[in-house]
Amino acid sequence: MRRSGLIKLAVGLVALGGLGVLFVRSARSVRAEPFEVARDRLARWTLALEPPPNASGVVLALRPQRELASALFNQVFARTGESLSSPVPAEMPLVLQSEFAGRVPGTLALEALLDVARMAGLESPAFEPRCMAHRRVSQPGTTRQLYFVLFEWSAFDQFRRQLVQRMRDAGGSASAYDPNALSPVLIVAATDAAFSRWLPLRADADEDCFAPIALK
């Protein structure tokens, strides 16, 4: 009887282990399913200046329709079940305060920065979302997580590179400005509200992407 009981216990443990593996695989499968976005929600982005100092850490941003950000946030929350915060307003950072510090006035004014963005076509973006991405940072006593959409958008990179010459033409220095420090991303959610701590954010599609975006 004792041997029979041990065999039953071993079989039960193996079965539980198998169920655990299936559960983890199922959870990963659900997490990797495409996020759905209505195509018309990708229209009507607006440029926004945020004069420093401000809590966002951003000087110039591109803001989507409110419905786009809320729809994506709801999908992330439904899949993760985590306590999350969403940025208000949601935006794609174009230029950061830290990049623009010491350059106003007398070099490149905020209004001129806005003009450069408009001439680069950033106010009428034509881009495609590449994926929903996730970044996790473990620190002593806490783990921080960020969810964001990574876009394919060559005009973003061109605009960032153009600013180097604009700063020089305006008599300023671009030594502290790295045009490659930012990627075209829309921050959707994080496990804390300190979104500026994630900036500058340079995305790595191979490392950060976990699910595609399906347009409908």
Q: pLDDT digits over 119-144, tens only?
A: 999 988 778 899 999 999 998 989 99
Contact 98, 175 (CB under 8 A): no
* Cα–Cα distance for residue pair 18/141, rounded to 1 Å: 32
pLDDT at site 75: 98
β-bridge partners, 92: 62
pLDDT tens across 85-101, in order? 999 999 999 999 988 76
pLDDT at site 8: 60
* Cα–Cα distance for residue pair 103/161, rounded to 1 Å: 17
* Cα–Cα distance for residue pair 195/188, rounded to 1 Å: 10
pLDDT at site 54: 87
Q: What average pLDDT is seen over the chain?
A: 85
pLDDT at site 151: 97
Report which of residues 139 and 70 the model is more confident about: 70
Distances from the Cα of 205 to the Cαs of 48, 133, 135, 208, in angstroms? 27, 8, 11, 5
pTM of the model: 0.82
* Cα–Cα distance for residue pair 91/64, rounded to 1 Å: 7
Residue 2 has pLDDT above 90, yes or no: no
Confidence class for position 4, pLDDT limits 50, 70, 90:
low
Question: Percent of the chain beyond pLDDT 90?
Answer: 61
pLDDT tens across 20-45, in order? 433 334 444 567 899 999 999 999 99
pLDDT tens across 144-183, in order? 999 999 999 999 999 999 998 888 887 766 777 899 999 9
